[in-house]
Amino acid sequence: MASEIITNIFKETPHTNYILEVADTNHNAVNLYTKLGFKEFKRVAEKHSKRSGINYLVYMRYIK
């Protein structure tokens, strides 16, 4: 379902560059975005990682 939504966004919007932020601990999301063609371009350490459970915020980009 999520992959269908993202694929539809790619088809229906005029944009050529898509950027998103995802937590490094959200492995399912990272795998999905990678499968759809997103590439990681930046990783930022989370300041309160022990409290949030997130080590890094991963920034991913897809270019049509």
**7-56, pLDDT tens digit by residue?**
999 999 999 999 999 999 999 999 999 999 999 999 999 988 889 999 99
| Global confidence as pTM | 0.89
Contact 46, 52 (CB under 8 A): yes
Question: Can you tell me the distance from the alpha carbon of 7 to that of 9, in angstroms, rounded to the nearest whole number?
Answer: 5
| Count of structural domains, the chain | 1
Any idea what the CATH number is for the domain that residue 10 is in?
3.40.630.30
E strands present in the chain: 17-23, 39-45, 56-63
Residue that has been written with the tokens 């990681």 in this structure: 40
Q: In terms of residue numbers, what domain contains 7?
A: 2-63
What is d(CA 4, CA 20) in angstroms, rounded to the nearest whole number? 17
How many other CB atoms are found less than 10 A from the CB of residue 22?
20
